[in-house]
Amino acid sequence: MSSAEQPEQQVPESGEGEILVDQARVSVRRSPRYLNFMILGAVVGAILALVLTVAFPTNAEFGPSQVFGFLLLAGVVAGVAVGAVAAMVIDRVTGRSAATVVVDRLGAYGPSGLAAADADAPEALDAPADSPKSSDNSE
């Protein structure tokens, strides 16, 4: 991206600032959610099991609930597998359209000029910079 395409950085009005710590190039791409595809496959397999149970004539050896249970088990397993394979195929196809962007890592600084990590230390806030710290006093 050129500098004209990048959004302007807004400085917070609370006095806290940010400085640029590092820049890196990363690859960004869309990928399908595998769990959603597998759940959809399981639902389609369950519906197919119900349709097959109702569509065929009853069996003298097994009751309709047993037939539905067998078909449900096989349909859900096959549906999850087909959904996962479909997600993998879609992931491979959309993986070719990856974009490379530049990302910034920013360091946040408070109004006193201390880094956010340094501000957590209580000694850094209590003692002035030119005076010895309280742990160094041996009197």
Longest dimension (CA), the chain: 97
Q: What is the mean pLDDT of residues 108-123?
A: 56
Predicted confidence (pLDDT) at residue 29 exceeds the cutoff of 90:
no
The count of structural domains within the chain is: 1
User: 6 lies in a domain?
Assistant: no
* pLDDT reported for residue 115: 54
Stated pTM of the model: 0.54
User: What confidence tens digit (pLDDT) does each residue in 46-88 have?
Assistant: 999 999 999 988 888 888 889 999 999 999 999 999 999 999 9
Instruction: For residue 135, tell me if it sits in a domain.
Output: no
Structural contact between residues 39 and 81, judged by C-beta atoms closer than 8 angstroms = no
Q: Mark 69-81 as b/e (b = at least 16 C-beta within 10 Å).
A: eebbeebbebbbe
For tokens 């600032």, the residue is: 17
Tell me, yes or no, whether 51 lies in a domain: yes
Which pLDDT score is estimated for 112?
A: 60
Binning pLDDT at 50, 70 and 90, where does residue 42 land? very high
Query: For the chain, how many residues are written?
Result: 139
**Is residue 25 situated within a structural domain?**
yes
The values of phi and psi at residue 33, to 5°, are -90, 110
Q: Which residue segment(s) compose the domain that 105 sits in?
A: 19-129
pLDDT of residue 40: 96
Distances (CA, A) of 96 to 29, 65, 83, 85, 92: 8, 46, 21, 18, 7
* 64 in any annotated domain: yes
Distance (Å, whole) CA 50 – CA 73: 11
With cut-offs at 50, 70 and 90, classify the pLDDT of residue 97: confident
Query: 2 in a domain, yes or no?
Result: no
Average pLDDT for 17-33: 78
pLDDT averaged over the chain? 75
Q: What is the pLDDT of residue 14?
A: 45
